[in-house]
Structure 1
Amino acid sequence: MQALVFDGPGDIHIKEVDKPRISPDEVLIKTGFAAVCGTDLHIMKGSFPAKPGIIMGHEASGTVEAVGENVKHLVPGQQVVNAPYLICGDCLPCRSGRYNVCRYREHLGIDTDGVFAEYYKLPEYAVYPSPDGLSLEEGALVEPAAVGYHAVRRIAPTPSDTVVIIGAGPIGLFALESVVAFGSQRIIVSGHRQRRLELAKRLGAHRVVRPPEEDLRTVVLEETDGNGADIVIEAAGRPDTIAETVSLVRSAGRICLVGIPSQEVRFDFISLVRREVDVLTSDASLLAYERTHELVAKRILDARPLISHVFPFERIIEAIEASQDQDAIKILIRFGEEGDQ
């Protein structure tokens, strides 16, 4: 079969590799669609570490091709989505149900073979049957939807809260849809790409801000009578925007950090303490996936507007590079069918 293999920074190629062989507890999946994540671009450029020789990618949907003899809840022909990492199931976090912080977690496409291939295999626990109405295209976006939804579920906004979301990429946009689903109506979204901000407006943002054309802190203070936002969700992962959350949140407000920076972050810790600001972090849980793919299927979290490009697998390297374009939101990779749009 063909797969996109990472051999080192700037050294990725489509190669012919062996089709995976499954163990009794594993599932073989024929890939339908995969999605390009910002992490894939950083791996390609060498700004995010990954294991040389692995198959890249972690966001996908597909159809069960074969199951091991111990697999109980999946059958060939079933449409499925996958979690993006493997767990041990036996460490303290796993035993307490916090699988997303497993001490021995392995990320697909980073630590172990991923989904940018005609077939991939996973343990049964990391594979979820798609609910009725969930297309393969939408299924490939369940993973970023789960990241955004899990963050919002942790921070738990109320209808009266003013919420600021920094970052209008796929995670920020799914967080926006999740905040709307929680009933909040005063939502400010900040980002740099105009097409994404226009989409944020359509998805329910009360106001969008494009720095440096507008100053985000000035806008937030205007919208909150000088108090600051009740909740700030950081989904950009930049050191400067993470630090900025402190100046945007009100006293006794809440911050949720989702974006992952590539370097050390300095922020005003004294201000957080003196104003008793709650700071949460979020990394999507396996437990969020079942709920999330139902929300995507019902289009409460609507993945369709985020799909900006579809490339055939043969052009996957071009697709990863295209994720940098101003018009790109979420790029899908189609397997098995020629063409693009």
Structure 2
Amino acid sequence: MKAVVNYAAGKGKVEIREVPIPQLGPKDVLIKVMAAGVCGSDLHMYHDIQGFEVKRPVTLGHEYSGIVAEVGREVTLFQQGDRVVSETPAYVCEKCIYCRTGQYNLCPTRRGFGVLEDGAMAQYVKTRETIVHKIPDSVSFEKAAMTEPTCVAYNAVAHHSRIRPGDYVAVFGPGPIGLMCVQVAKLFNPGQLTIVGTKADHNRLEIAKQFGADTAIVADEQDVVKEIMSYGDGLGPDLVLDAVGISITLKQSIDVVRPAGQITKIGWGPAPVGFTLDPLIQKAARLQGSFSHNWPMWEKVLLMMAKGELDPLPMTKTYGMDDWKAAFDEMDSLVHAKSIVCPNS
């Protein structure tokens, strides 16, 4: 089968290769991939600037949907022809305290698709029965492939953050996760919802407004801290969502967060912060990390997609597998927010 493979370390070491169709274990499900999202982590691996361990060669892709092609002999919940999505942990130990309490996204030995295990930017992918979900009839394969980034946003906003109707919410970064954070936060009826980006993010800032942002701040044209603090009583946002992952946005988050407020950090970044955290202490503010997602979040997000309460499709553009490089490069250049590759179209 054809697959988009990151075959070695180094910039641009990605190409289409012929690889074997995965062999199933007794509890595995083989999915014919109909849509696979390009994640920022895929782009980081494409440029070899990721801050995490990678097993190369590896088939990229961890955001995907498709049709069940085959099931292992002990699989009982799914059958050939089912429309499905799968979560991202290709392997977890199933024995640690986190696995046993449903927090398997935090399993110390977790291995994710497209990084440490072969992923879904291929004609077929193998996954585990326990992390597969059926797609509602009204949800397209393209929309379903966006369940994973939407669940990242749901986990950050609805699970890890304290958010109430009327709150002032600021989101740093109009990438796919930041944009979906805007959509999820909007469900809580915030009093003010602000998005921060750059001039290069012009198209994505317009999508943020479409998704529910009240105000967009352009960081290279405006004083970010001054603009954020100008709303309301001047004490800052109740909740700041940092979906960027660079040092400056974390510093700005600490500068603007309201006393007794919260910062939820989602974006990854290997650079040291290089500044004091004393203002966080003085404000008695909470800094919370958020990572990945789990089973109940996927079920809720799929239901909200079916009802039209969450819809990531306006930020996407679809490509055939042979056009994977255009999908990567156009997303990388911020022409649009999210690329979807369709291996079997």
Query: Among 125, 132, 135, which residue is 1:130 paired with?
Result: 135
Query: Which deviations, in whole Å up to 9, do the C-alpha atoms of 1:149-196 show, x marking residues without a partner?
Result: 110012031112100000111101111010111221310101120111
Q: In the aligned structure 1, how far is the partner of 2:161 from the partner of 2:98?
A: 20
Gaps of 5+ in 2: none
Q: Which residue of 2 is the match for residue 3 of structure 1?
A: 3
Query: Among 190, 194, 200, which residue is 2:202 paired with?
Result: 194
Q: In the aligned structure 2, how far is the partner of 1:72 from the partner of 1:233?
A: 40
1:157-176 → structure 2 map (5 Å cutoff): 157-176=163-182
Q: Which residue of 1 is the match for residue 306 of structure 2?
A: 297
1:5-24 → structure 2 map (5 Å cutoff): 5-8=5-8, 9=10, 10-24=12-26
The alpha carbon displacement at 1:274 in A equals: 1.7
Q: Residue 243 of structure 1 contacts residue 266 of structure 1 at CA under 8 Å; is this kept in 2?
A: no
Query: Which deviations, in whole Å up to 9, do the C-alpha atoms of 1:76-122 show, x marking residues without a partner?
Result: 10111111123221112112221111111101111110001100000
Q: Which residue of 1 is the match for residue 319 of structure 2?
A: 311
Q: In the aligned structure 2, how far is the partner of 1:336 from the partner of 1:255?
A: 41
Query: Which deviations, in whole Å up to 9, do the C-alpha atoms of 1:229-262 show, x marking residues without a partner?
Result: 1110000111211221100101111110000113
Query: Among 141, 150, 153, which residue is 2:155 paired with?
Result: 150
1:56 counterpart = 2:60 = yes
Q: In the aligned structure 2, how far is the partner of 1:133 from the partner of 1:87?
A: 31
Q: Which residue of 2 is the match for residue 249 of structure 1?
A: 257
Q: Which residue of 2 is the match for residue 234 of structure 1?
A: 242
- Give runs of ≥4 in structure 1 deviating > 4 Å: none
Query: Among 103, 109, 115, which residue is 1:98 paired with?
Result: 103
Q: Which residue of 2 is the match for residue 139 of structure 1?
A: 144
Under a length normalisation based on structure 2, what TM-score does the superposition of the two structures give? Answer: 0.94
1:73 counterpart = 2:85 = no
Q: Which residue of 1 is the match for residue 45 of structure 2?
A: 43
Under a length normalisation based on structure 1, what TM-score does the superposition of the two structures give? Answer: 0.95
Q: In the aligned structure 1, how far is the partner of 2:304 from the partner of 2:313?
A: 13
Query: Among 202, 212, 219, which residue is 1:211 paired with?
Result: 219
Q: In the aligned structure 1, how far is the partner of 2:144 from the partner of 2:103?
A: 24
Q: AA paired with 2:225? A: R
SS of match in other structure, 1:61: strand
Q: AA paired with 2:293? A: S
Q: AA paired with 2:3? A: A
SS of match in other structure, 1:152: helix
The alpha carbon displacement at 1:267 in A equals: 4.1
Q: In the aligned structure 2, how far is the partner of 1:313 from the partner of 1:324?
A: 17
Q: Which residue of 2 is the match for residue 82 of structure 1?
A: 86
Q: Residue 246 of structure 1 contacts residue 267 of structure 1 at CA under 8 Å; is this kept in 2?
A: no
SS of match in other structure, 1:223: coil
SS of match in other structure, 2:16: strand
Q: AA paired with 1:129? A: K
Q: AA paired with 1:57? A: G
Q: In the aligned structure 1, how far is the partner of 2:94 from the partner of 2:301?
A: 22
The alpha carbon displacement at 1:265 in A equals: 2.2
SS of match in other structure, 2:238: strand
The alpha carbon displacement at 1:264 in A equals: 2.1
SS of match in other structure, 1:155: coil
Q: Percent identity?
A: 32
Q: AA paired with 2:106? A: V
Q: In the aligned structure 2, how far is the partner of 1:115 from the partner of 1:129?
A: 17
Q: In the aligned structure 1, how far is the partner of 2:191 from the partner of 2:204?
A: 19
The more displaced of 253-262 and 49-58 is: 49-58
Q: Residue 185 of structure 1 contacts residue 206 of structure 1 at CA under 8 Å; is this kept in 2?
A: no
Q: Which residue of 1 is the match for residue 231 of structure 2?
A: 223
SS of match in other structure, 1:247: helix
May I ask how many residue pairs the two structures share in their alignment? 336
